[in-house]
Amino acid sequence: MILRLVFLGPPGAGKGTIAQRLCTSHGLVQISTGDLLREEAAKGTELGEKLKAIMASGEYVDDTTVVELVEGKLKELGKEKGFILDGFPRTSAQAQMLEDLLKKLGLKLNAAFDIEASDEIIIERLSGRRSCSKCGKIYHLKNIPPKEEGKCDKCGAELVQRKDDQPDVVKSRLETYRQKTAPLVEYYEGQGLLKIIDASGKIEDNMENAEKIVKELE
């Protein structure tokens, strides 16, 4: 079965890390709207500068811009490839737009994973998070350290801290999540697609929880 998943969950709960690993083990494609937006922001265009400012504040980028990026990626993938939408949808409007888009493309979601961890854990994870400036692989200074300090294991590029992982922005990202994205948990529950993943433990345990649900879906 071709897996088509949505990943919900607060920033720092481990969506990206779990998505990267599941994609590797199951041959799926990770579509992270955060990564796509950061790529766009790095281009230095007028749109890029606007995106950079919004993301640095912890607010959400407008629905139309985000959905256009996702539409482009899904069209590129075609019908035969499974994917994980990591950090999308994040608003009720996006969830509706995704539903319309999937219908248009003749595709169906298999599940929506709600990746959950407490605020305390989230803050510890985000403050220690580092990511590769080139390939985006995610590390944590204590929990998932690179083999060589400051360097990516996979491609050797420099590891950086995201601007929006600074404590004051983290607080506002969590608030935005609770207000705008948390209601989607109910939305997907209503569609019979919701799977809750406890991601409060060590990465190996969290992966075991996620893999178990994936096996049930396959």
CB of 37 to ligand AMP, least distance (A): 5
> Is 129 annotated as catalytic?
yes
Per the annotation, the verdict on 162 as an active-site residue is yes
Question: Cβ of residue 32: shortest distance to ligand AMP, in angstroms?
Answer: 6
Asked whether 63 and 10 are in contact (CB, 8 A), the reply is no
With contact defined as beta carbons under 8 Å apart, do 80 and 162 qualify?
no
Q: What is the DSSP string of 114-153?
A: EEE--HHHHHHHHHHEEEETTT--EEETTTB--SSTTB-T
Q: Which is nearer to ligand AMP, 131 or 206 (CB)?
A: 131
In this structure, what is the dihedral angle of CA atoms 138, 202, 83, 38, given to the nearest 10 degrees?
A: -30
Catalytic-residue membership of 90: yes
Catalytic pick from 21, 129, 130, 137?
Answer: 129
Q: Footprint of ligand AMP on this chain (CB under 6 A)?
A: 11, 33-34, 37, 54-55, 58-61, 66, 87-88, 90, 94, 164, 173
Tell me how far, at minimum, the Cβ of 186 lies from ligand AMP, in Å.
18
- For residue 144, the cross-strand partners are 140
Single out the catalytic residue among 4, 15, 21, 130: 15
- Active site (catalytic) residues: 15, 90, 129, 162, 173
